[in-house]
Each structure stands twice: as structure tokens, then as C-alpha cells.
Structure 1
Amino acid sequence: MEAFLVSTGIVALAEIGDKTQLLSFVLAARYQKPWPIVWGILAATLANHAFAAAVGTWITGVLGPDVLRWILGLSFIAMAAWIMVPDKLDEGEPCTLRFGVFGTTLAAFFLAEMGDKTQIATVALAAQYGAFAAVVLGTTLGMMIANVPAVLVGGRLAERMPVRLVHGVAAVVFLALGIAALVGWGLEGSS
């Protein structure tokens, strides 16, 4: 349960102001069909985060506990710094593919998440907890918590959200996880 709750919270916080949340606003404004966008976000996130968690789970089997502890600790600390860098949506609008709003959202979100903060966090969380399903479900729920309101209420929500404060809280959580990993708290095989 801890893996699910931590994964949900970290990703929900990390997504505030992220490029995929900005993409949610753009898609909602352009197509004004919220449910195909929401379903596209869900499908893309499940696929992307399942891949990322599989990589994280694989890493735990390949690396020894000491090497893994250092990689995880430093990765979480790096994520704490990275989360404080504001995200911008790349130039250009998403074009409608022949697959409609759902297909456009699916493709755009899957590609936008490649190498993104939340994908890397998913790899690290899966490696730390060794709980594939809990991490995938948690990170996916976190994405939905951050992006569904962006789709449903659009720009009105973005204007009122204290993005720097939310990013600061997420950075502190990542930093705490990094320090905990470096000292060995919560990792199997540690004293």
C-alpha cells in the first residue's frame, strides 16, 4: 500500500505545471471533447508507466543492493532539483490524427511522457519498492489526479494553482526519498 500511496502522491505533485498537464489544457481547448481526452491520457499513461515500472523492476534484479541504493538515492535527489525547473509545452499544436481525439491524445501523451520526470520517477519507484502493479496504478492515478481537472476545467484551474508551492512540496518529498534511499531506509537487504 505504501508503494501505491507514495507513487500516487509524488506523481500528482510532480505533474502540476508539467508539459503533459499543459498538453491537457491545449487538447481540451482545441477539441472540447473531454472524455476521449481523459481516456487517451489513461491509456497512454498505463502503457508508458507499465514500461517504466518494468524497467525499474528489472533493474532491481540486475544491480546489487548497494549499487541500487546509491543510484536510487542520487536519482531521487536529482528529481528533487529537476522538479523545480518549470516545464513548457514544445512549440506547435498537436495535430489531429486519423484516429480522432482519443488517438491524438494517446499518441501525444505517450510521446510526451518519454523521458519525462514522471516516467523516470516511475522507474525509480518501481526499483525502490519492487511492487510493479502498485507503482503503475499509483503513478497512473497521480497522472489522472493532475490531468483530468486540467481537461475538465481548463485554464481557470491553471490560473489559481500555486505551481511553485506544489513543485516545492514535490521536491521536498523527492529529496526525502533520496536521503532515505542513501541511508538504506525502506530498501530490502539493508540493515
Structure 2
Amino acid sequence: MTEFVKAALLVVVAEMGDKTQLLAMAMASKYKVKEVMIGVLVATIFNHALAVAVGNYLSSLIPMSTIKIVAAISFLIFGLWTLRGDKLDDEDEKKTKFGPIVTVAIAFFLAEMGDKTQLMTIAISANSHHPAFILMGTTVGMLIADGIGIIGGAWMCKHIPEAYIKWVAGIIFIFFGTLTIYNSVPSVLLSTMYVILYILVLGILIYIFGVKLSYQGQACNIASPDKNILKDNNK
């Protein structure tokens, strides 16, 4: 049960400002919330089932100590990725000839391929003995995060600066990554010199991704009232 909760919380954090959350907000401007959420559910189950299978396969080939180091580095990457944010391209919003649910499911499945949420699912699955809980947790987390994006996107943009949301989510990942590294690396690498070097390099990377390369205003542009995101969606 702990792994279920952990997986759900990490996905919620990872999805804040992520490409698929932006896609959910964009889709909700065209289709009903119920249709979008069903499409997200279908896509997430298939996509994350694939990720969990890959993660469990890797755990049978790679020593657990190595997996922990890789997972820690992955969390740091996810944190920097979150600080930078994602940009939703015009082609991500293109309609298909299918109905709303199938259209959303296809769009989300493709958008999630190689996305940080899928990669994170692979990482935590490789470090878990209960793949079913990981799949359920990441699926629930995705629904919660995209539900927040669809229903609460406009409200959050009015009351909470988008940058704050990205920074809190990014720092959470970086904290987990740093904690995992601390608990996994040999003690010889925990000397003062290495710790200072780590903090210096990490600080530079945070500045580059969080300031210089960051996408600004993408989520709030999509969630703006003139987009009519919630139009007819609560019917």
C-alpha cells in the first residue's frame, strides 16, 4: 500500500506543468471532462503497464544497488525537467477522425511515450516488488494530476503563479534524488569536498533549467478563461 501511495504522489508531482497535463487542459477545451478523463485512463493503463513491465524486466538483469543509483539520478533529471517545464506543440492538439475518447487516448498514449512520467514509472517499478501497486498508483496519480489541470487550471493560474508550482514540484524531485544518492553511494563519496562539488553543480543546473531554459506561461495560456476550458464540461 505504501508503494501505491508513493507512486501516486510522485506522478501527481511529475505531472505539474508536464506536457500531458497541458494536453489534458487543451483537450478539455474541445471535449467534455468525462470524455477526456476516460481517454486519459485508457491511455495511462496501457502506457504505464508497458513501463512497469520494462521496469520489472530491468530489475531482473541489473543489481539493486545500481538500480538505486540510476533511480536517484533519474529523480534529479525529472526535477530539472520539471523546473524547465514542457511546451505543447500545435501538432499535439491535432484532431483525428475518431471519437473524443479514442482521440484523447491515442494522443495521450503517444505523448507519454518517453515522457518523464513514463520514465519515472520504469524507474520506481525497477525498484519495487509489487508492480501491480505501482501501476495502480501511477494511474491514479495521472488521473488526479490531469483532473487538477482540467478543473483547477484556471483557478490556480489566478491564485498561484505557475512558476511557484513548477519550483515546488521540481524541488521535491531533486530532494528525493539527493536523499536516494546519499543512502546509496559509498561513504567515501560523502566527504565534504564531494558534497560541496555536488551542491555547486546541482545549483548551476537548477539555474540553467529553472531560469534560462524554462518555459513560462504555457499552462496558464491554455487554462485562460477565454479558452472556455470548462464550457459545457460539467453537464
- Paired residue secondary structure (1:62): coil
Q: How does 1:54-133 map to 2 (within 5 A)?
A: 54-92=53-91, 94-133=93-132
Greater shift in the superposed pair: 89-98 or 54-63: 89-98
Conserved 8 A contact 1:21-1:146: yes
Work out the CA distance in 2 between the residues paired with 1:91 and 1:183.
41
Distance 1:131 1:173 in 2: 23
Question: 3-state SS of the aligned residue for 1:167?
Answer: helix
Question: Which residue of 2 is the match for residue 52 of structure 1?
Answer: 51
RCO (CA 8 Å, sep 6+): is it higher in 1 or 2? 1
> Hey, what does 2:28 align to over in structure 1?
28
Higher mean displacement: 146-155 or 53-62: 146-155
Most deviating of 148-157 and 167-176: 148-157
Instruction: For 2:128 and 2:164, locate their aligned partners in 1 and report how far apart those are by CA, in whole Å.
Output: 27
Task: State the TM-score, normalized to the length of structure 2.
Answer: 0.71
Q: Which structure 1 residue ranges, 5 or more long, are not aligned? A: 186-191
Corresponding residue SS for 1:99? coil
Contact 2:17–2:82 (CA<8 Å) still a contact in 1?
Answer: no
2:19 equivalent in structure 1: 19
Q: CA deviation at 1:158?
A: 4.1
Question: Match for residue 177 of structure 1?
Answer: 176
Distance 1:29 1:57, change over 3 A: same
Question: Could you tell me how far 1:152 is from its partner in structure 2?
Answer: 3.9
Contact map agreement 1:57 1:127 (CA 8 A) in 2? yes
| Letter matched to residue 163 of structure 2 | R
C-alpha RMSD over aligned residues: 2.1
> In structure 2, the residue corresponding to 1:29 is in which secondary structure?
coil
Larger radius of gyration: 2
Taking structure 1 as reference, are residues 93 and 78 closer, same or farther at Cα in structure 2, changes over 3 Å only? closer
Aligned residue pair count: 184
Question: Is the CA contact (8 Å cut-off) linking 1:52 and 1:119 kept in structure 2?
Answer: yes
- Length-normalised TM-score, structure 1: 0.85
CA displacement at 1:159 relative to structure 2: 4.1
Inter-CA distance 138–161: structure 2 relative to 1 (3 Å threshold)? farther
Matching residue of 1:188: none
Aligned to 1:92, the other structure's residue is in SS state helix
In 2, the alpha carbon distance for the partners of 1:167 and 1:94 equals 22
**Runs of 5+ consecutive residues of structure 2 not aligned to the other structure:** 185-235
**AA matched with 1:25:** M
Change (3 A) 1:184 1:153: closer
Shift of 1:75: 1.5
